[in-house]
Amino acid sequence: MSQNDRLANSETLSGKDLYIHTEAVLFLVWGKLLILLGISSQELIDALCSSAFHWNDLYRSQQMYRAKEQENRLCNTASPDNQPDKSSSSDETGQINGHMKPALTVTQQISHLKSQGVTFKLIDESEAARYLAEANNYLRTRSYRVLFSRQTGGAHIGEYVNLDFADLVTLSRIDREMREVFLLACIDVEHFSKMRVLRLCEERHEDGYAIVSSFAAQLSHNERNHLLGALRARASEGKRHDIYSGDLIAHYLDDMPVWVLLEALEFGPFTNFYLFCADRWDDETMRQEHYVLKSVKALRNACAHDSCIANGLTTAGERAGYAPNLLITNSLNDHGIHNSRSRRTKLRNLRVAQIAALLWSLSAFCTRDSTIERHAMRFARLRESFEANRERFGNDDDANAFVSYFEFIWKLVDIWVSQRV
């Protein structure tokens, strides 16, 4: 029976028939409104095409939502390991003691992973239990699952494809190695960018005390109080005393030269001083470098606080809220990595954008051969660690999407670090 026959017999539409009928009615209503508003035929066609895209996107979102519901049902199967502790109180909303996600035992964590399609062939369940209890917590280990593809249909819809617990362990280790390598690189970028400012002050015959006074004077009242308050606290004898730089700050607090200021400033405030110098000397390159250094600072903070990085190397990762810096894109163009769709996709990922800023900064600020050689060796070992597991992660067309992000990072390492050796 056709749709029209069903409507004539006053039958209730459902499922895909309802979706198609609703979309057609909305097209007609919207088209009538546009005609009443004086929209041209071509504009009407363009608008309807846009509407089609919108409703198709909505339909795909609904499919994803249903897949997620299916996953939740799989995760909440009536297994003793997946049931809440009977001693916990549960209300009609399914909350346990007022919380939506009660703590799982290690055994329950493994059962949860298995319900999502994670296998335990390369690492058995007993070894996985020891890992989750002693080496790394469930939240962090499980976070890398988002890098792998899922079943999109069939009886196992929503489950991960070819994902073993060993893969999660491997990515967790690679991520730790990556943080270590990045953090050491960030420290050198901060050090050598401060060295550059000192050298430029000398080349421009700056008065080391006057430039600091000018910097403090151009700050807003709140900014100046915040900076001076932080320095005084570190110089004081109280609980906030800085045992490493406090005595130095205290000695020069009332009359501080630029070489002491740069030693005392943390990375964040230093980027503000870098921008001040760029404006003072009307140096557009320095202004652009200031923005790059802010990205390096953000990555440094993530590494220093042991934040996971690799689990965001996907198209779904947080997007950068800014266009790629011209210094970076010009350098990429010069090295043959042109403005392709692939490049744009990778640099839209905020974590990749920050990694690109770090690698470019290594090349721009760390000019000593011995420094670059050290970092080239560290990145080479990191890459070897990743490539040793490449067969598990996938090759060429069968690769998981995150592999292409690592490949892009290796290209950046090649042009800004390895080629310098």
Query: With contact defined as beta carbons under 8 Å apart, do 170 and 392 qualify?
Result: yes
Number of domains in the chain: 2
pLDDT at 278: 98
Q: Please tell me the pTM assigned to this model.
A: 0.77
* Nearest residue to 58 (alpha-carbon basis) of 97, 90, 19: 19
Residues comprising the chain, all counted: 421
| Residue 400 included in any domain | no
Choosing from 46, 69, 92, the residue where a domain stops is 69
pLDDT at 22: 72
pLDDT at 90: 45
| Residue 106 included in any domain | yes
* Nearest residue to 401 (alpha-carbon basis) of 346, 332, 347, 343: 346
pLDDT at 156: 85
Residue 76 has phi, psi (to 5 degrees) of -110, 30
| Residue 153 included in any domain | yes
pLDDT at 37: 56
DSSP strand E in 91-189: where? Answer: none
| Residue 397 included in any domain | no
| Residue 113 included in any domain | yes
pLDDT at 272: 97
Which domain, by its residues, includes 13? Answer: 3-69
Q: Which residues of the chain have pLDDT under 70?
A: 1-21, 23-25, 27, 29-100, 395-399, 421
| Residue 125 included in any domain | yes
| Residue 304 included in any domain | no
Give yes or no: residues 121 and 164 share one domain: yes
* H and E: helices and strands count for the chain: 19, 0
Give the integer Cα–Cα distance in Å for 280 and 111: 61
Partners of residue 349 on adjacent β-strands: 319
Q: Mind giving me the DSSP string for 317-337?
A: SPBPSSPPPHHHHHHHHHTT-
Residue 160 has phi, psi (to 5 degrees) of -75, 150
pLDDT at 400: 83
pLDDT at 319: 94
pLDDT at 238: 85
Choosing from 168, 188, 213, the residue where a domain stops is 168
| Residue 22 included in any domain | yes
Choosing from 69, 87, 112, the residue where a domain stops is 69
Place of tokens 């309802």: 18
